[in-house]
Amino acid sequence: MSELIVIGYDSSEKAEAARGALLGMAREYLVDVADAVVASADKDGKIKLNQMVNLWTTGATGGAFWGLLIGLIFFNPLLGLAVGAGAGAISGALTDYGIDDKFMKDVATILQPGQAALFMMVRTNASDKVIERLGEKGGRVLRTNLDSDAENHLRRAFESAHRAETSAHEEKTA
């Protein structure tokens, strides 16, 4: 079963850094990321979603390929390419991948201007090592789909890692 974890940050830069760390851990095979989206609130409080996958581009690329292939069959590859890319881009824009956009915008309404949240959906349980490394980036757990015991364990591990990183940073600067 997939886990959904939402972590709040004071800025979109911190949320993007945490997403970068999460994707880095995915490359190390520590976690299997299905989706990771940063939602940020602008100065007017409007929520902007920064998706992991650009669906316009993905759709246009796939559509261009199929359009070119069909165009070759009917001896008009350029027309097929153009029509396929346009149709693919529209299809990609209308497709929702991973975490539901409406859900993310609803949850992100608690953000104050300038704040951000990292929405992550992982296919396997996030190990303590993953939580510890994410906790080093700061933030606080806002919401999960875990049962209450697992969520409390996650919150404690996350806060513990954050406190350890903060005290280590304070010792270096002192």
How many Cα neighbours within 13 Å face the side chain of 173? 6
**Structural fold of domain 3-52+114-173:** Alpha-Beta Plaits (3.30.70)
> What does the pLDDT average to over 69-81?
61
More confident residue, 79 or 155: 155
Residue type present at position 68: L
Q: Which residues is 100 bridged to in the sheet?
A: none
CA distance 117 to 123: 19
**Strand, helix or coil at 45?**
coil
Residue 93: predicted pLDDT: 47
Residue 55: predicted pLDDT: 47
More confident residue, 130 or 70: 130
pLDDT, tens digit, for every residue of 23-74?
A: 888 888 888 888 888 989 888 888 888 876 544 455 555 555 556 556 656 6
Residue boundaries of the structural domains of the chain: 3-52+114-173, 55-94
